Amino acid sequence: MVGTIAVGIWGPAVYLIAKVLGINMETTQGFLIGYVGISFFVVTLASTLGFQGLVRKIVGIYGAINMRDPFMRGITTESQPSTPGWALAAAYVAILLLALTASVVAIPSHDPNA
One digit per residue, pLDDT tens: the chain, 114 residues? 444 445 566 777 878 888 898 899 989 999 999 989 999 999 999 999 998 888 888 777 776 666 676 776 777 766 767 888 889 889 999 999 998 887 665 556 666 665
Domain ranges of the chain: 11-79
Residues 3, 11 contacting (CB under 8 angstroms) = yes
What lies within 8 Å, CB to CB, of 94 at 6+ separation is: none
What lies within 8 Å, CB to CB, of 56 at 6+ separation is: 63
Residues 75, 15 contacting (CB under 8 angstroms) = yes
Distance, CA of 109 to CA of 7 (rounded, Å):
58
How would you class 69 by CB atoms within 10 Å of its CB: exposed for 0-12, middle for 13-18, buried for 19 or more? buried
Is the pTM here over 0.75, yes or no?
Answer: no
- pLDDT given for residue 1 in this prediction: 41
Compute the residue count for the chain: 114
